[in-house]
Chain A
Amino acid sequence: MIRVSADFAKEVKKRLGGETITNCYQCGTCTSSCPVARVTNRFNPRKLIVQSLRGKRDDVLTGEMIWLCCSCFNCQERCPQRVEIADLIYALRNIAISEGNVPNIYSEFVSALYSEGKLVKVAGFTEKQRENFGLPPLKKPDVEAIRAILAETSFGEVLKVLEGKE
């Protein structure tokens, strides 16, 4: 059964990044500017927006389309209606993730930021190489400060969702 939620557009509009969704008049400038849509029909930003506007909440949030945006911002740059499309897709991803639809790579980003304050760990070998090339020792992030910040944002909820999944 397809669940249609007329309130979905309102829900998205209230989110950081989702505010401009109802400006869309479906001209398709986004899709014709999209490098991903050029090589696959698995991604189509215009369709993603119309599905959201029509309330196809489950299709949007559990499908793969929201994850196939490459964040190039070409659509957002060119949209004649000033729909902030890339930001809107972040908003959709935020909702999907808060409901437990978390692609593996994003779980990795979450745990890296939380545990290291950075997304990439510097290997011991690289530290040595840095020294050999005369680079200064790396300053460390303040992980405690980052955790305290994250706890005050919806990132904290995401951590709980991920713990629940394990």
Chain B
Amino acid sequence: MKSYALFLGCTIPARQLNYEISARKALKALGIDLVDLDGMSCCAPPPIESVAVDASLAVSAYNICLAEEAGLDLLTICSGCFQSLARTNELLKRNSQLRKRVNQILSKIGKEFKGSIEVKHYLKVLHDEVGVEEVRRNVTKQLKNIKAAPFYGCHLLRPSELLKFDDPEKPRILDDLIEALGAKSIDYLDKLKCCGGLLRGYDDDLALELARDKVMKASKAGADCIVTVCPFCFINLDLGQIQIARKYNENYSLPIVHYSELLCLAMGVEAKELSPRSHRVKIDKLLEKIV
């Protein structure tokens, strides 16, 4: 059993218990051991990079240091955390000048970035380490009636040169993992286009317009659900639909589920164990299709 330091981040443990519960259950069942380390903070994502890039790099490197000290690779569930930590890790490994600058900051609290670990998103671990076949072998329920629209989001894929997650223009990992569950992974227009989630708080109307486009196009393609891997995509598409109904008088009622939720359901975990009330758009219609 491989152990990883779990990086939970800010949003998931506070707002999306459906994601945390399902990810912990699924990974454990598939032989991945997660260790909760002391002291992990915010990953210092785009909102902090926007304020001070140097602070973002240093805080992100600090979290990596904690995993280095524990001798564990870092595993993230949130794509935002993945991008911040994986980018910093790669940048500091490559650029000795930048590493020196960051280490000077970290030396004030007795830390040093060494570049001794990897940062991985759990989808990659499922795909490359557990393996698609092993995921398939653990499926006990029939999902063949489900047409799932995979949504990779942005921060899992780009900048690909640093993140090296999958082909940024033609990714397959999430599609493969959905099909391993027996569901159909469907294609839809603008599949890789951003949901607009990070505009929330600055320009909510614009964020909603982008979310609406996403939900509309997945709906038109006949999706029974959109499968997400990022808490901000989830909020913008799930809570977003309640706001879309109010603002545009359009009711899509398209369930938004994180991949780990679908995985748990396919492995026979009861929906009520997965904090179904974390969803604003009801997922009952989707659950009825699982036999």
Tell whether, in the assembled complex, residue B13 and residue A17 are in contact, meaning their CB atoms are under 8 Å apart: no
Residue interface bits A20-35, CB-to-B below 8 A is 1, else 0 = 0000000000000001
Interface residues on A, range: 35 or more
Residues of A110-145 at the interface with B, using a CB-CB cut-off of 8 Å, are: 110, 113, 117-123, 126, 129-130, 133-136, 138-143, 145
Tell whether, in the assembled complex, residue B275 and residue A133 are in contact, meaning their CB atoms are under 8 Å apart: yes
Stretch at the interface among A3-11, A44-52, A53-61, A148-156: A148-156
Tell whether, in the assembled complex, residue A152 and residue B194 are in contact, meaning their CB atoms are under 8 Å apart: no
Q: How far is the CA of A142 from the CA of B110 in the complex (A)?
A: 13
Q: How far is the CA of A106 from the CA of B45 in the complex (A)?
A: 12
CB<8 Å pairs between A and B, sample of 9: A70-B197, A70-B198, A71-B155, A90-B53, A97-B50, A106-B47, A117-B42, A126-B17, A149-B58
Of the candidates A86, A97, A138, A143, the one whose C-beta lies within 8 Å of that of B51 is A97
Q: How far is the CB of B78 from chain A (nearest CB, A)?
A: 11
Tell whether, in the assembled complex, residue A126 and residue B14 are in contact, meaning their CB atoms are under 8 Å apart: yes
Tell whether, in the assembled complex, residue B52 and residue A152 are in contact, meaning their CB atoms are under 8 Å apart: no
Is B176 in contact with chain A by the CB < 8 A criterion?
A: no
Tell whether, in the assembled complex, residue A93 and residue B51 are in contact, meaning their CB atoms are under 8 Å apart: yes
Interface residues of chain B: helix, strand, loop or mixed (majority): helix
| A135 with B21, Cβ < 8 A, contacts A105-B201, A119-B47, A123-B14 known | yes
Of the candidates A70, A146, A148, the one whose C-beta lies within 8 Å of that of B194 is A70
Is A40 in contact with chain B by the CB < 8 A criterion?
A: yes
Tell whether, in the assembled complex, residue A119 and residue B10 are in contact, meaning their CB atoms are under 8 Å apart: yes
Residues on the B chain within 8 Å of A86, using CB: 159
Which A-chain residue is minimally distant from B39 (CB atoms)?
A142
Residue interface bits B169-202, CB-to-A below 8 A is 1, else 0 = 0000000000000000000000001101111011
Tell whether, in the assembled complex, residue A153 and residue B154 are in contact, meaning their CB atoms are under 8 Å apart: no
Q: How far is the CA of A155 from the CA of B62 in the complex (A)?
A: 15
Tell whether, in the assembled complex, residue A71 and residue B24 are in contact, meaning their CB atoms are under 8 Å apart: no
Q: How far is the CA of A158 from the CA of B52 in the complex (A)?
A: 8
| A94 with B210, Cβ < 8 A, contacts A71-B154, A149-B105, A153-B58 known | no
Of the candidates A71, A90, A149, the one whose C-beta lies within 8 Å of that of B106 is A149
Of the candidates A74, A113, A126, the one whose C-beta lies within 8 Å of that of B42 is A113
Q: How far is the CA of A153 from the CA of B158 in the complex (A)?
A: 26
Tally of chain B residues near chain A (CB < 8 A): 60
Residues on the A chain within 8 Å of B21, using CB: 133-135
Of the candidates B62, B104, B201, B206, the one whose C-beta lies within 8 Å of that of A68 is B206
Residue interface bits B185-228, CB-to-A below 8 A is 1, else 0 = 00000000110111101110011011001000000000000000
Tell whether, in the assembled complex, residue B158 and residue A72 are in contact, meaning their CB atoms are under 8 Å apart: yes
Q: How far is the CB of B41 from chain A (nearest CB, A)?
A: 4
Tell whether, in the assembled complex, residue B275 and residue A70 are in contact, meaning their CB atoms are under 8 Å apart: no
Q: How far is the CB of B273 from chain A (nearest CB, A)?
A: 7
Tell whether, in the assembled complex, residue A118 and residue B158 are in contact, meaning their CB atoms are under 8 Å apart: no
Is B134 in contact with chain A by the CB < 8 A criterion?
A: no
Residues on the A chain within 8 Å of B40, using CB: 139, 141
Of the candidates A15, A36, A72, the one whose C-beta lies within 8 Å of that of B206 is A36
Is B250 in contact with chain A by the CB < 8 A criterion?
A: no
Residues on the B chain within 8 Å of A103, using CB: 202
Q: How far is the CA of A72 from the CA of B195 in the complex (A)?
A: 9
> Contacts A120-B10, A150-B59 given; 4 further ones with Cβ under 8 A?
A68-B203, A130-B17, A135-B24, A152-B104
